[in-house]
Structure 1
Amino acid sequence: MTVLSSTERVRSGASSAGRISVSIANGVATVEISNLAQRNALTRDMCWEIQELMPRLEADADVAVVVLRGSGDTFCAGASISELSSVLVDPQPDGTSVDHLSGADAAIASLSKPSVALVDGACMGGGWQIASACDFIIANERAVIGLTPAKIGIIYPRPGMERLVRLVGQANAKYILLTGRTFSATEARALGLVADVVPSASFEEKSAALVSSLRSRSRFSMHSMKRLVDATDAAPSDADREWADAWAAMPDSPDMEIGISAFLNREQPQFRWRPVD
Protein backbone atom coordinates (compact mmCIF):
# COMPACT_ATOMS: atom_id res chain seq x y z
CA MET A 1 0.00 0.00 0.00
CA THR A 2 1.27 3.46 -0.88
CA VAL A 3 1.45 5.78 2.11
CA LEU A 4 1.77 9.52 2.34
CA SER A 5 5.11 11.13 3.04
CA SER A 6 5.39 13.60 5.88
CA THR A 7 5.69 16.53 3.47
CA GLU A 8 3.19 15.47 0.84
CA ARG A 9 -0.11 17.25 0.32
CA VAL A 10 -2.74 15.10 -1.33
CA ARG A 11 -5.83 16.59 -2.90
CA SER A 12 -8.35 13.98 -3.92
CA GLY A 13 -11.46 14.20 -6.00
CA ALA A 14 -11.88 15.21 -9.59
CA SER A 15 -15.44 16.30 -8.90
CA SER A 16 -15.88 20.07 -8.93
CA ALA A 17 -18.61 19.63 -6.30
CA GLY A 18 -16.13 19.08 -3.50
CA ARG A 19 -13.00 17.35 -2.34
CA ILE A 20 -11.25 15.86 0.65
CA SER A 21 -7.68 17.03 1.14
CA VAL A 22 -4.98 16.21 3.67
CA SER A 23 -1.77 17.86 4.79
CA ILE A 24 0.75 16.11 7.01
CA ALA A 25 3.24 17.91 9.23
CA ASN A 26 5.02 16.97 12.45
CA GLY A 27 3.12 13.72 12.83
CA VAL A 28 -0.33 15.29 12.41
CA ALA A 29 -2.56 14.60 9.42
CA THR A 30 -5.12 17.37 8.94
CA VAL A 31 -8.02 16.20 6.79
CA GLU A 32 -10.17 18.98 5.35
CA ILE A 33 -13.73 18.74 4.03
CA SER A 34 -14.09 21.27 1.21
CA ASN A 35 -17.25 21.95 -0.76
CA LEU A 36 -17.77 25.67 -0.21
CA ALA A 37 -20.61 26.02 -2.70
CA GLN A 38 -22.68 23.63 -0.55
CA ARG A 39 -21.38 24.58 2.92
CA ASN A 40 -18.99 21.61 2.82
CA ALA A 41 -21.79 19.10 2.26
CA LEU A 42 -20.59 15.58 1.53
CA THR A 43 -21.12 14.13 -1.94
CA ARG A 44 -20.86 10.44 -2.77
CA ASP A 45 -17.38 10.99 -4.23
CA MET A 46 -16.23 12.78 -1.08
CA CYS A 47 -17.45 9.87 1.04
CA TRP A 48 -15.46 7.54 -1.20
CA GLU A 49 -12.38 9.72 -0.80
CA ILE A 50 -12.62 9.51 2.99
CA GLN A 51 -12.89 5.72 2.75
CA GLU A 52 -9.79 5.57 0.53
CA LEU A 53 -7.78 8.06 2.58
CA MET A 54 -8.17 6.67 6.11
CA PRO A 55 -6.37 3.34 5.47
CA ARG A 56 -3.47 5.29 3.98
CA LEU A 57 -3.21 7.45 7.09
CA GLU A 58 -3.48 4.33 9.25
CA ALA A 59 -0.58 2.74 7.37
CA ASP A 60 1.65 5.83 7.49
CA ALA A 61 4.00 5.35 10.43
CA ASP A 62 4.77 9.09 10.45
CA VAL A 63 1.15 9.96 11.26
CA ALA A 64 0.45 9.92 14.99
CA VAL A 65 -2.75 12.01 15.15
CA VAL A 66 -5.57 12.62 12.65
CA VAL A 67 -7.51 15.90 12.68
CA LEU A 68 -10.77 16.39 10.78
CA ARG A 69 -12.07 19.87 10.01
CA GLY A 70 -14.05 21.84 7.45
CA SER A 71 -12.82 24.42 4.99
CA GLY A 72 -13.61 28.05 5.77
CA ASP A 73 -16.09 28.88 8.53
CA THR A 74 -18.29 25.76 8.21
CA PHE A 75 -17.53 22.23 9.34
CA CYS A 76 -20.04 20.28 7.26
CA ALA A 77 -23.69 20.77 6.32
CA GLY A 78 -24.22 16.99 6.14
CA ALA A 79 -24.91 14.95 3.04
CA SER A 80 -25.39 16.94 -0.14
CA ILE A 81 -29.16 17.31 -0.65
CA SER A 82 -28.76 17.15 -4.42
CA GLU A 83 -27.03 13.76 -4.04
CA LEU A 84 -28.80 12.54 -0.93
CA SER A 85 -30.13 9.31 -2.45
CA SER A 86 -26.78 8.32 -3.93
CA VAL A 87 -24.98 9.15 -0.68
CA LEU A 88 -27.32 7.17 1.61
CA VAL A 89 -28.98 4.50 -0.54
CA ASP A 90 -26.86 4.05 -3.65
CA PRO A 91 -28.40 1.13 -5.62
CA GLN A 92 -26.08 -1.72 -6.58
CA PRO A 93 -26.33 -4.20 -9.49
CA ASP A 94 -27.23 -7.03 -7.09
CA GLY A 95 -30.30 -5.17 -5.84
CA THR A 96 -28.77 -4.01 -2.56
CA SER A 97 -27.89 -0.42 -1.69
CA VAL A 98 -24.84 1.19 -0.13
CA ASP A 99 -24.76 3.91 2.55
CA HIS A 100 -21.58 5.79 1.58
CA LEU A 101 -21.86 8.21 4.49
CA SER A 102 -21.70 5.34 6.97
CA GLY A 103 -18.83 3.87 4.95
CA ALA A 104 -16.90 7.09 5.54
CA ASP A 105 -17.93 6.96 9.20
CA ALA A 106 -16.59 3.40 9.52
CA ALA A 107 -13.31 4.35 7.86
CA ILE A 108 -12.70 7.14 10.38
CA ALA A 109 -13.84 5.04 13.34
CA SER A 110 -11.51 2.20 12.32
CA LEU A 111 -8.38 4.30 12.90
CA SER A 112 -6.22 2.94 15.70
CA LYS A 113 -4.61 6.38 16.00
CA PRO A 114 -6.20 9.18 18.02
CA SER A 115 -8.52 11.36 15.97
CA VAL A 116 -10.18 14.67 16.78
CA ALA A 117 -12.82 16.68 14.94
CA LEU A 118 -12.43 20.47 15.13
CA VAL A 119 -15.91 21.87 14.53
CA ASP A 120 -16.26 25.50 13.52
CA GLY A 121 -19.56 26.90 12.28
CA ALA A 122 -22.38 24.63 11.14
CA CYS A 123 -22.17 20.89 11.80
CA MET A 124 -25.42 19.42 10.56
CA GLY A 125 -26.89 15.97 10.00
CA GLY A 126 -24.29 13.67 8.49
CA GLY A 127 -21.63 16.22 9.37
CA TRP A 128 -22.07 15.34 13.04
CA GLN A 129 -21.99 11.63 12.21
CA ILE A 130 -18.63 12.06 10.50
CA ALA A 131 -17.30 14.25 13.31
CA SER A 132 -18.49 11.83 15.98
CA ALA A 133 -16.64 8.99 14.26
CA CYS A 134 -13.51 10.69 15.60
CA ASP A 135 -12.52 10.00 19.20
CA PHE A 136 -13.90 13.34 20.33
CA ILE A 137 -15.14 16.70 19.05
CA ILE A 138 -13.83 20.13 20.01
CA ALA A 139 -16.23 22.90 19.00
CA ASN A 140 -15.73 26.60 18.44
CA GLU A 141 -18.17 28.52 20.63
CA ARG A 142 -19.87 29.84 17.47
CA ALA A 143 -20.53 26.30 16.20
CA VAL A 144 -24.12 25.15 15.73
CA ILE A 145 -25.09 21.48 15.64
CA GLY A 146 -28.29 19.91 14.42
CA LEU A 147 -29.41 16.40 13.48
CA THR A 148 -32.32 17.11 11.17
CA PRO A 149 -33.47 13.95 9.31
CA ALA A 150 -37.07 14.52 10.43
CA LYS A 151 -37.08 17.82 8.51
CA ILE A 152 -36.46 16.10 5.18
CA GLY A 153 -38.24 12.78 5.65
CA ILE A 154 -35.30 10.43 6.07
CA ILE A 155 -33.90 8.17 8.80
CA TYR A 156 -30.56 8.95 10.39
CA PRO A 157 -28.04 6.22 9.46
CA ARG A 158 -27.75 3.38 11.93
CA PRO A 159 -24.07 3.88 12.94
CA GLY A 160 -24.71 7.56 13.67
CA MET A 161 -27.91 6.88 15.58
CA GLU A 162 -26.39 4.12 17.69
CA ARG A 163 -23.42 6.32 18.55
CA LEU A 164 -25.80 9.17 19.41
CA VAL A 165 -27.68 6.95 21.86
CA ARG A 166 -24.41 5.83 23.48
CA LEU A 167 -23.29 9.42 23.93
CA VAL A 168 -26.49 11.15 25.05
CA GLY A 169 -28.91 8.40 26.12
CA GLN A 170 -32.22 7.34 24.60
CA ALA A 171 -34.37 10.23 25.80
CA ASN A 172 -31.96 12.93 24.62
CA ALA A 173 -31.41 11.08 21.34
CA LYS A 174 -35.16 11.12 20.69
CA TYR A 175 -35.35 14.79 21.63
CA ILE A 176 -32.50 15.69 19.26
CA LEU A 177 -33.74 13.59 16.34
CA LEU A 178 -37.49 14.08 16.57
CA THR A 179 -37.42 17.85 17.06
CA GLY A 180 -34.66 18.49 14.53
CA ARG A 181 -33.52 21.39 16.69
CA THR A 182 -30.27 23.22 16.08
CA PHE A 183 -28.16 23.60 19.21
CA SER A 184 -25.51 26.11 20.17
CA ALA A 185 -22.07 24.76 21.01
CA THR A 186 -22.75 25.20 24.73
CA GLU A 187 -26.05 23.33 24.47
CA ALA A 188 -24.38 20.61 22.42
CA ARG A 189 -21.75 20.12 25.10
CA ALA A 190 -24.39 19.88 27.83
CA LEU A 191 -26.16 17.18 25.83
CA GLY A 192 -22.94 15.26 25.16
CA LEU A 193 -22.74 15.95 21.40
CA VAL A 194 -19.26 17.50 21.75
CA ALA A 195 -16.46 17.04 24.28
CA ASP A 196 -15.44 20.68 24.75
CA VAL A 197 -16.19 24.21 23.58
CA VAL A 198 -13.41 26.72 22.94
CA PRO A 199 -13.82 30.52 22.66
CA SER A 200 -13.76 31.75 19.07
CA ALA A 201 -10.86 34.15 19.66
CA SER A 202 -8.58 31.33 20.78
CA PHE A 203 -10.02 28.38 18.86
CA GLU A 204 -7.06 27.91 16.51
CA GLU A 205 -4.48 28.42 19.24
CA LYS A 206 -6.13 26.09 21.75
CA SER A 207 -6.91 23.47 19.11
CA ALA A 208 -3.27 23.47 17.99
CA ALA A 209 -2.14 23.13 21.61
CA LEU A 210 -4.49 20.18 22.14
CA VAL A 211 -3.26 18.40 19.02
CA SER A 212 0.34 19.09 20.04
CA SER A 213 -0.30 17.56 23.45
CA LEU A 214 -1.73 14.43 21.82
CA ARG A 215 1.35 14.29 19.62
CA SER A 216 3.58 14.27 22.72
CA ARG A 217 1.77 11.45 24.54
CA SER A 218 2.73 7.80 24.49
CA ARG A 219 1.39 6.20 21.32
CA PHE A 220 1.35 2.86 23.12
CA SER A 221 -0.90 4.29 25.83
CA MET A 222 -3.21 6.09 23.40
CA HIS A 223 -3.59 3.17 20.96
CA SER A 224 -4.15 0.70 23.79
CA MET A 225 -6.64 2.78 25.75
CA LYS A 226 -8.57 3.77 22.63
CA ARG A 227 -8.95 0.07 21.80
CA LEU A 228 -9.98 -0.78 25.37
CA VAL A 229 -12.57 2.00 25.56
CA ASP A 230 -14.06 0.75 22.28
CA ALA A 231 -14.06 -2.78 23.69
CA THR A 232 -16.59 -1.79 26.36
CA ASP A 233 -19.24 -2.24 23.64
CA ALA A 234 -17.90 -5.67 22.67
CA ALA A 235 -18.90 -9.09 23.99
CA PRO A 236 -17.36 -9.78 27.44
CA SER A 237 -15.08 -12.49 26.05
CA ASP A 238 -13.74 -10.12 23.38
CA ALA A 239 -13.23 -7.35 25.93
CA ASP A 240 -11.40 -9.77 28.25
CA ARG A 241 -9.10 -10.75 25.39
CA GLU A 242 -8.35 -7.12 24.51
CA TRP A 243 -7.52 -6.35 28.14
CA ALA A 244 -5.32 -9.41 28.54
CA ASP A 245 -3.37 -8.59 25.37
CA ALA A 246 -2.92 -4.91 26.26
CA TRP A 247 -1.91 -5.59 29.88
CA ALA A 248 0.60 -8.24 28.80
CA ALA A 249 2.12 -5.88 26.22
CA MET A 250 2.60 -3.00 28.66
CA PRO A 251 5.86 -4.18 30.33
CA ASP A 252 7.38 -4.91 26.92
CA SER A 253 6.65 -1.43 25.59
CA PRO A 254 9.64 0.93 25.88
CA ASP A 255 7.26 3.74 26.82
CA MET A 256 6.61 2.48 30.36
CA GLU A 257 10.26 2.73 31.41
CA ILE A 258 10.72 5.99 29.49
CA GLY A 259 7.68 7.56 31.17
CA ILE A 260 8.65 6.50 34.69
CA SER A 261 12.25 7.65 34.25
CA ALA A 262 11.20 11.02 32.81
CA PHE A 263 8.74 11.58 35.66
CA LEU A 264 11.34 10.79 38.33
CA ASN A 265 13.89 13.06 36.64
CA ARG A 266 11.37 15.82 35.93
CA GLU A 267 12.02 15.57 32.21
CA GLN A 268 9.79 15.58 29.17
CA PRO A 269 9.46 11.95 28.03
CA GLN A 270 10.53 11.05 24.52
CA PHE A 271 8.37 8.03 23.82
CA ARG A 272 9.57 5.49 21.24
CA TRP A 273 6.79 2.94 20.75
CA ARG A 274 5.41 2.67 17.22
CA PRO A 275 2.63 0.45 15.87
CA VAL A 276 3.72 -2.81 14.27
CA ASP A 277 3.19 -2.81 10.49
Structure 2
Amino acid sequence: MQASNEVVRWQLAARVARLKIDRPAKRNALANVHWAAIERCLAEIHASDARLIVLEGVRGAFSAGADIDELGELLANPPAFAANNAQVQRTQLALQRSPLTTVAVIDGVCVGGGLGLALACDFRLGSARSRFGLSPAKLGLVYSPEDSRRLVNTVGLARAREMLLTGCLLPAATALDWGLLNRMADDDLGAALLTLLDELASGSAAARAGIKQVLAYLGGDAQADRAAATAAFNDAFASADFAEGAAAFLAKRPPNFQ
Protein backbone atom coordinates (compact mmCIF):
# COMPACT_ATOMS: atom_id res chain seq x y z
CA MET A 1 0.00 0.00 0.00
CA GLN A 2 1.22 3.49 -0.89
CA ALA A 3 -0.38 6.51 0.78
CA SER A 4 0.09 10.07 -0.44
CA ASN A 5 -2.06 11.35 2.43
CA GLU A 6 -4.90 10.05 4.58
CA VAL A 7 -7.44 10.54 1.77
CA VAL A 8 -5.62 9.42 -1.39
CA ARG A 9 -3.77 6.11 -1.55
CA TRP A 10 -2.99 3.29 -3.95
CA GLN A 11 -1.98 -0.33 -3.91
CA LEU A 12 -0.67 -2.72 -6.54
CA ALA A 13 -1.77 -6.32 -7.03
CA ALA A 14 -1.45 -8.49 -10.14
CA ARG A 15 -0.15 -5.42 -12.03
CA VAL A 16 -3.38 -3.53 -11.37
CA ALA A 17 -2.96 -0.27 -9.44
CA ARG A 18 -6.03 0.58 -7.34
CA LEU A 19 -6.08 4.35 -6.66
CA LYS A 20 -8.65 5.22 -4.02
CA ILE A 21 -10.15 8.53 -2.87
CA ASP A 22 -11.47 8.00 0.66
CA ARG A 23 -13.24 11.02 2.14
CA PRO A 24 -16.81 9.84 2.74
CA ALA A 25 -17.75 12.62 5.21
CA LYS A 26 -17.23 15.12 2.37
CA ARG A 27 -18.61 12.84 -0.36
CA ASN A 28 -15.04 12.73 -1.69
CA ALA A 29 -14.89 16.48 -2.33
CA LEU A 30 -11.36 17.38 -3.40
CA ALA A 31 -9.20 20.18 -2.02
CA ASN A 32 -5.92 21.26 -3.60
CA VAL A 33 -3.92 18.88 -1.41
CA HIS A 34 -5.96 15.96 -2.71
CA TRP A 35 -5.51 16.88 -6.36
CA ALA A 36 -1.76 17.10 -5.74
CA ALA A 37 -1.85 13.72 -3.99
CA ILE A 38 -3.58 12.10 -6.97
CA GLU A 39 -0.92 13.53 -9.27
CA ARG A 40 1.86 12.15 -7.03
CA CYS A 41 0.20 8.74 -6.88
CA LEU A 42 -0.05 8.63 -10.67
CA ALA A 43 3.68 9.36 -10.94
CA GLU A 44 4.42 6.53 -8.50
CA ILE A 45 2.15 4.14 -10.39
CA HIS A 46 3.81 5.01 -13.69
CA ALA A 47 7.18 4.19 -12.12
CA SER A 48 5.88 0.76 -11.04
CA ASP A 49 5.17 -2.29 -13.20
CA ALA A 50 1.41 -1.62 -13.24
CA ARG A 51 -0.45 -2.28 -16.48
CA LEU A 52 -3.89 -0.98 -15.44
CA ILE A 53 -5.16 1.79 -13.16
CA VAL A 54 -8.48 1.59 -11.33
CA LEU A 55 -9.65 4.91 -9.88
CA GLU A 56 -12.37 4.51 -7.27
CA GLY A 57 -14.21 6.46 -4.62
CA VAL A 58 -16.30 5.28 -1.69
CA ARG A 59 -19.77 3.78 -1.48
CA GLY A 60 -22.20 6.50 -2.52
CA ALA A 61 -19.62 8.97 -3.80
CA PHE A 62 -17.03 8.89 -6.54
CA SER A 63 -16.43 12.63 -6.02
CA ALA A 64 -18.62 15.67 -5.37
CA GLY A 65 -16.04 17.93 -7.00
CA ALA A 66 -14.53 20.97 -5.30
CA ASP A 67 -14.25 21.24 -1.52
CA ILE A 68 -16.68 24.05 -0.63
CA ASP A 69 -14.82 24.90 2.59
CA GLU A 70 -11.61 25.52 0.65
CA LEU A 71 -13.48 27.40 -2.06
CA GLY A 72 -14.25 30.23 0.37
CA GLU A 73 -10.55 30.61 1.15
CA LEU A 74 -9.57 30.54 -2.52
CA LEU A 75 -12.08 33.26 -3.40
CA ALA A 76 -10.22 35.61 -1.08
CA ASN A 77 -6.84 34.72 -2.60
CA PRO A 78 -6.77 34.97 -6.43
CA PRO A 79 -3.15 33.71 -6.80
CA ALA A 80 -4.00 30.64 -4.74
CA PHE A 81 -7.15 30.12 -6.80
CA ALA A 82 -5.10 30.24 -10.02
CA ALA A 83 -2.59 27.78 -8.56
CA ASN A 84 -5.44 25.44 -7.59
CA ASN A 85 -6.90 25.60 -11.10
CA ALA A 86 -3.50 24.77 -12.55
CA GLN A 87 -3.13 21.81 -10.17
CA VAL A 88 -6.54 20.42 -11.16
CA GLN A 89 -5.64 20.71 -14.84
CA ARG A 90 -2.25 19.00 -14.33
CA THR A 91 -3.83 16.12 -12.45
CA GLN A 92 -6.56 15.52 -14.99
CA LEU A 93 -4.10 15.69 -17.89
CA ALA A 94 -1.73 13.29 -16.11
CA LEU A 95 -4.59 10.81 -15.91
CA GLN A 96 -5.78 11.44 -19.47
CA ARG A 97 -2.25 11.05 -20.89
CA SER A 98 -1.35 7.95 -18.88
CA PRO A 99 0.07 5.23 -21.13
CA LEU A 100 -1.75 2.72 -18.91
CA THR A 101 -5.36 1.74 -19.43
CA THR A 102 -7.50 3.51 -16.84
CA VAL A 103 -10.89 2.62 -15.35
CA ALA A 104 -13.07 4.85 -13.18
CA VAL A 105 -15.38 2.89 -10.86
CA ILE A 106 -18.31 5.15 -10.00
CA ASP A 107 -20.88 4.66 -7.27
CA GLY A 108 -23.13 7.59 -6.37
CA VAL A 109 -22.34 11.23 -6.99
CA CYS A 110 -19.90 12.13 -9.77
CA VAL A 111 -20.07 15.85 -10.48
CA GLY A 112 -17.86 18.84 -11.25
CA GLY A 113 -14.18 18.04 -10.88
CA GLY A 114 -15.11 14.48 -9.96
CA LEU A 115 -16.70 13.99 -13.36
CA GLY A 116 -13.64 15.69 -14.84
CA LEU A 117 -11.50 12.93 -13.33
CA ALA A 118 -13.83 10.23 -14.61
CA LEU A 119 -13.81 11.72 -18.12
CA ALA A 120 -10.00 11.57 -18.11
CA CYS A 121 -10.21 7.76 -17.79
CA ASP A 122 -10.51 5.29 -20.65
CA PHE A 123 -13.44 3.42 -19.13
CA ARG A 124 -16.21 4.46 -16.75
CA LEU A 125 -18.01 1.69 -14.91
CA GLY A 126 -20.95 2.80 -12.78
CA SER A 127 -23.62 1.56 -10.45
CA ALA A 128 -27.34 2.11 -11.02
CA ARG A 129 -27.37 4.83 -8.37
CA SER A 130 -24.62 6.92 -9.97
CA ARG A 131 -25.43 10.54 -10.81
CA PHE A 132 -23.50 12.84 -13.16
CA GLY A 133 -23.42 16.57 -13.65
CA LEU A 134 -21.45 19.70 -14.52
CA SER A 135 -22.74 23.09 -13.45
CA PRO A 136 -20.35 25.88 -14.49
CA ALA A 137 -23.18 28.15 -15.68
CA LYS A 138 -24.91 27.88 -12.30
CA LEU A 139 -21.68 29.01 -10.64
CA GLY A 140 -20.87 31.77 -13.12
CA LEU A 141 -17.90 29.79 -14.43
CA VAL A 142 -16.54 28.61 -17.78
CA TYR A 143 -14.92 25.20 -18.15
CA SER A 144 -11.44 25.01 -19.67
CA PRO A 145 -10.95 23.90 -23.28
CA GLU A 146 -9.38 20.65 -22.02
CA ASP A 147 -12.30 19.87 -19.68
CA SER A 148 -14.83 20.74 -22.36
CA ARG A 149 -13.03 18.73 -25.06
CA ARG A 150 -13.09 15.60 -22.89
CA LEU A 151 -16.84 16.01 -22.44
CA VAL A 152 -17.48 16.68 -26.15
CA ASN A 153 -15.33 13.68 -27.14
CA THR A 154 -17.40 11.51 -24.80
CA VAL A 155 -21.01 12.59 -25.35
CA GLY A 156 -20.90 14.74 -28.50
CA LEU A 157 -21.32 18.48 -28.93
CA ALA A 158 -25.11 18.68 -28.57
CA ARG A 159 -25.25 16.74 -25.31
CA ALA A 160 -22.16 18.51 -23.95
CA ARG A 161 -23.93 21.80 -24.67
CA GLU A 162 -27.00 20.63 -22.76
CA MET A 163 -24.98 19.47 -19.75
CA LEU A 164 -22.84 22.61 -19.54
CA LEU A 165 -25.54 25.19 -20.23
CA THR A 166 -28.27 23.69 -18.03
CA GLY A 167 -26.24 22.00 -15.30
CA CYS A 168 -28.62 19.03 -15.44
CA LEU A 169 -28.00 16.00 -13.22
CA LEU A 170 -28.08 12.77 -15.20
CA PRO A 171 -29.16 9.40 -13.75
CA ALA A 172 -27.04 6.36 -14.50
CA ALA A 173 -29.35 5.02 -17.23
CA THR A 174 -29.13 8.30 -19.16
CA ALA A 175 -25.37 8.48 -18.59
CA LEU A 176 -25.06 4.99 -20.09
CA ASP A 177 -27.19 5.98 -23.07
CA TRP A 178 -25.16 9.16 -23.64
CA GLY A 179 -21.78 7.44 -23.33
CA LEU A 180 -20.72 8.93 -19.99
CA LEU A 181 -20.74 5.36 -18.72
CA ASN A 182 -19.26 2.53 -20.75
CA ARG A 183 -21.00 -0.04 -18.58
CA MET A 184 -23.48 -0.07 -15.72
CA ALA A 185 -23.50 -2.83 -13.11
CA ASP A 186 -26.93 -4.12 -12.16
CA ASP A 187 -26.02 -5.25 -8.66
CA ASP A 188 -22.39 -6.13 -7.98
CA LEU A 189 -20.02 -3.33 -9.04
CA GLY A 190 -17.02 -5.34 -7.88
CA ALA A 191 -17.94 -8.32 -10.05
CA ALA A 192 -18.49 -6.06 -13.06
CA LEU A 193 -15.03 -4.57 -12.51
CA LEU A 194 -13.40 -8.01 -12.37
CA THR A 195 -15.11 -8.93 -15.65
CA LEU A 196 -13.75 -5.80 -17.32
CA LEU A 197 -10.26 -6.33 -15.91
CA ASP A 198 -10.27 -9.93 -17.16
CA GLU A 199 -11.18 -8.70 -20.65
CA LEU A 200 -8.39 -6.13 -20.57
CA ALA A 201 -5.84 -8.58 -19.18
CA SER A 202 -6.23 -10.76 -22.27
CA GLY A 203 -4.94 -7.96 -24.50
CA SER A 204 -1.57 -6.32 -25.06
CA ALA A 205 -0.78 -3.42 -22.71
CA ALA A 206 1.77 -2.12 -25.23
CA ALA A 207 -0.84 -2.14 -28.00
CA ARG A 208 -3.34 -0.32 -25.78
CA ALA A 209 -0.72 2.37 -25.05
CA GLY A 210 -0.19 2.84 -28.79
CA ILE A 211 -3.93 2.92 -29.42
CA LYS A 212 -4.23 5.65 -26.78
CA GLN A 213 -1.62 7.71 -28.67
CA VAL A 214 -3.66 7.50 -31.85
CA LEU A 215 -6.90 8.33 -30.04
CA ALA A 216 -5.25 11.28 -28.28
CA TYR A 217 -4.29 12.71 -31.65
CA LEU A 218 -7.77 12.14 -33.08
CA GLY A 219 -9.32 13.59 -29.92
CA GLY A 220 -7.47 16.88 -30.28
CA ASP A 221 -5.00 16.57 -27.40
CA ALA A 222 -2.62 19.52 -27.85
CA GLN A 223 0.33 17.34 -26.82
CA ALA A 224 -0.41 14.61 -29.39
CA ASP A 225 0.65 14.95 -33.02
CA ARG A 226 0.17 12.92 -36.19
CA ALA A 227 3.81 11.82 -36.28
CA ALA A 228 3.58 10.15 -32.86
CA ALA A 229 0.26 8.53 -33.73
CA THR A 230 1.65 7.20 -37.03
CA ALA A 231 4.80 5.95 -35.29
CA ALA A 232 2.65 4.05 -32.78
CA PHE A 233 0.88 2.37 -35.70
CA ASN A 234 4.08 1.49 -37.60
CA ASP A 235 6.14 0.41 -34.57
CA ALA A 236 3.51 -2.08 -33.46
CA PHE A 237 4.22 -4.30 -36.48
CA ALA A 238 7.80 -4.82 -35.28
CA SER A 239 6.86 -5.42 -31.64
CA ALA A 240 7.20 -8.64 -29.67
CA ASP A 241 3.54 -8.43 -28.74
CA PHE A 242 2.46 -8.43 -32.39
CA ALA A 243 4.72 -11.42 -33.10
CA GLU A 244 3.10 -13.27 -30.21
CA GLY A 245 -0.41 -12.14 -31.13
CA ALA A 246 0.00 -13.22 -34.75
CA ALA A 247 1.51 -16.58 -33.75
CA ALA A 248 -1.32 -17.20 -31.31
CA PHE A 249 -3.92 -16.28 -33.93
CA LEU A 250 -2.44 -18.67 -36.49
CA ALA A 251 -2.13 -21.44 -33.88
CA LYS A 252 -5.68 -20.77 -32.63
CA ARG A 253 -4.54 -20.36 -29.04
CA PRO A 254 -4.74 -17.50 -26.50
CA PRO A 255 -1.81 -15.05 -26.73
CA ASN A 256 0.73 -14.80 -23.92
CA PHE A 257 1.73 -11.14 -24.01
CA GLN A 258 4.80 -10.09 -22.03
What is the TM-score when the length of structure 2 is the normalising length?
A: 0.89
2:62 counterpart SS class: coil
Contact 1:69/1:118, CA 8 A, preserved across alignment: yes
Alignment check: 8 A CA contact 1:40 1:74 kept:
yes
Q: Deviations over 1:32-68 (max 9, x none)?
A: 11111110111111001011111221121x2000010
Question: Aligned pair 1:114/2:114, yes or no?
Answer: no
> Of residues 5, 11, 25 in structure 2, which corresponds to 1:23?
11
What is the distance in 1 between the residues matched to 2:221 and 2:60? Answer: 41
**Unaligned runs of at least 5 residues, structure 1:** 1-8, 273-277
Q: Does structure 1 residue 167 correspond to structure 2 residue 154?
A: yes
Structure 1 counterpart of 2:42: 54
* Alpha-carbon distance in structure 2 between the residues aligned to 1:106 and 1:248: 26
Distance, in Å, in 2 between the alignment partners of 1:90 and 1:233 is: 35
The 5 A counterparts of 1:94-133 are 97-99=83-85, 100-133=87-120
Determine the C-alpha separation between the residues in 2 that align with 1:209 and 1:185. 19
TM-score by length of 1: 0.84
**Paired residue type of 2:9:** S
User: Which of 21, 32, 35 is matched with 1:33 structurally?
Assistant: 21
- What letter is aligned with 2:23? N
Instruction: Provide the C-alpha distance between the structure 1 equivalents of 2:174 and 2:28, rounded to a whole number of angstroms.
Output: 23
Q: Secondary structure in 1 aligned to 2:247?
A: helix
Once residues 225 and 132 of structure 1 are traced to their aligned partners in structure 2, the CA distance between those partners, rounded to angstroms, is: 17
Task: Report what 2:199 is aligned to.
Answer: 213
2:69 aligned to 60, 82, 93, which one? 82
Letter in 2 for 1:10: Q
Closer, same or farther: CA 89–123 of 1 in aligned 2, 3 Å: farther
Shift of residue 85 of structure 1? 5.8
Distance 1:149 1:122 in 2: 17
- Cα gap change, 1:144 to 1:234, in 2 (>3 Å): closer
| Superposed CA RMSD | 2.5
Deviation >6 Å, runs of 4+: 86-90
Q: What is the match of residue 5 of structure 2?
A: 13
> Residue 142 of structure 1 aligns to a residue in which SS?
coil
Alpha-carbon shift at residue 141 of structure 1 (Å): 1.7
Maintained 8 Å contact 2:9/2:41 = no
- 1:116 and 1:225 map into 2 onto residues whose CA distance is 16
* Residues 78, 126 of structure 1: 8 Å contact kept: yes
Between the aligned partners of 1:96 and 1:26, the Cα distance in structure 2 is 39
Q: String of CA shifts for 1:194-231, please: whole Å, max 9, x gaps.
A: 222221x1321121121132123111210111111111
From 98, 121, 125, give the equivalent of 1:138.
125
- Equivalent residues in 2 for 1:145-184 (5 A)? 145-184=132-171
Task: Among all aligned residue pairs of Structure 1 and Structure 2, give the percentage whose two residues are the same amino acid.
Answer: 30
Cα distance in 1, alignment partners of residues 144 and 227 from structure 2: 30
Aligned CA distance change for structure 1 residues 34 and 89 (closer, same or farther; 3 Å): farther
One-letter amino acid of the structure 2 residue matched with residue 20 of structure 1: V
Q: Distance in 1 between matches of 2:237 and 2:156?
A: 37
Larger deviation: 29-38 or 208-217?
208-217
Per-residue deviation at 1:88?
Answer: 9.3
Alpha carbons of structure 1 residues 130 and 87: separation in structure 2 relative to 1, 3 Å: farther
Per the TM alignment, residue 144 of structure 1 is displaced from its structure 2 partner at its CA by: 1.0
Moved more, 160-169 or 82-91: 82-91
Q: Which residue type is aligned with residue 247 of structure 2?
A: S
Deviation at 1:262, TM superposition (A): 1.8
Rate the CA distance shift 1:87–1:42 in 2: closer, same or farther, 3 A: farther
